[in-house]
Amino acid sequence: MTDTVIAATTLSKRYRDVLAVDQLDLHVRAGDIYALLGLNGAGKTTLIRMLLGMIRPTAGSVTVLGAPVGSSGTGPWNSVGHLVETPAAYPELTVRQNLHLVRRLRRITARDVVDDVLERLDLTGYADRRAGALSLGNAQRLGLAKALIHRPRLLILDEPTNGLDPAGVVEIRTLLRDLADRHGTTIFLSSHLLAEVARTATRIGVIHHGRLLQQLDAAELPDRLRQRLLVSARDLPAARAALTAAGYPCEPVDGHRLAVTGPDAPRRSDDVATVLVRAGCPPTELVIDREDLERYFLRLVTEPGADR
């Protein structure tokens, strides 16, 4: 078969009058770190729950690792690890006891998988601590340890860095990359932060109002960000007239600058400066303004068809 690890076809979920997921098609390939990006309420958790067979789709179908995800919870779950919303653990049991419980539930006889996963998640020092006394970051790590104990081929994570401090975010990012690079684990995760996932993901899908608006390779991102040249001059109307006459369309921004909007403008700042000098209104400032990732993401979801 192909190397498709997750395939969803015209998947929908309706809750009374809310269409949480709307005829969504999704393909995740082996080895991808696929980030599903969306604002609050976009439908991420609903989609993930359907991928995991936790809720039944209103329409459409899901295949995971080549096996259909059935309405009675059937699926290739021995090869899948997941972390959805707040990781639940038995608070009175230690970290180690919690992991042994998961080991037994997964019918793994080798006891050393627990030490192994404790080490991989940097939890060895907390092994004998009560799970209920863990910091949020370590509780999240315990959740990941439970998801990884059986060395799954596919890991599905809903907002895995939610609530973590910056150091925790970096740790999780490093761990996920390591899993993908060294163990070939395919990872599907959701997030509402493009800047964060852009550092980890190889592929990004943008979900909004339950629809997949856009899918792209993370490497394509820099080319998608808009650039414009911002110009200040003492006589702005004269500068604008000169630039327009020279074939550089521009518009006033923030009261004291012009945005030169043509796609070539950022690469031709020297020519723009020459035009202004020749017209007798030399620039007092020339800046290339690059869209940041979050602005790009907001543009995608607020302006339909806005990509470029």
Interface with ligand ATP (CB under 6 A): 15, 18, 20, 38, 40-46, 192
Report residue 9 as tokens: 């076809």
- Non-local (6+) Cβ contacts of 116 within 8 A are none
Report residue 92 as tokens: 């009175």
Sheet holding 250-253, edge to edge: 250-253, 257-260, 227-233, 283-290
Instruction: Name the minimum Å distance from CB 164 to ligand ATP.
Output: 15
Residue with tokens 């709307």: 22
**Amino acid in position 10:** T
Instruction: Name the minimum Å distance from CB 46 to ligand ATP.
Output: 3
- HEC assignment per residue over 33-87: EEEEECCCCCCHHHHHHHHCCCCCCCEEEEEECCEECCCCCCCCHHHEEEECCCC
Give 38 or 283: the residue with its C-beta nearer to ligand ATP.
38
Instruction: Name the minimum Å distance from CB 64 to ligand ATP.
Output: 18
Instruction: Name the minimum Å distance from CB 19 to ligand ATP.
Output: 8
**Burial bucket for residue 241 (CB in 10 Å: 0-12, 13-18, 19+):** middle
Give 204 or 265: the residue with its C-beta nearer to ligand ATP.
204
Instruction: Name the minimum Å distance from CB 58 to ligand ATP.
Output: 12
DSSP H helices in 106-235: 112-120, 136-148, 166-183, 194-197, 221-224
Instruction: Name the minimum Å distance from CB 189 to ligand ATP.
Output: 12
- Non-local (6+) Cβ contacts of 30 within 8 A are 3, 4, 5, 184, 186
Give 40 or 109: the residue with its C-beta nearer to ligand ATP.
40
Give 48 or 230: the residue with its C-beta nearer to ligand ATP.
48
CA 297 to chain centre: 11
Give 45 or 94: the residue with its C-beta nearer to ligand ATP.
45
**Amino acid in position 182:** R
Give 41 or 73: the residue with its C-beta nearer to ligand ATP.
41
Give 158 or 171: the residue with its C-beta nearer to ligand ATP.
158
Q: Considering only CA atoms, give the Rg of the chain.
A: 25
Instruction: Name the minimum Å distance from CB 210 to ligand ATP.
Output: 7
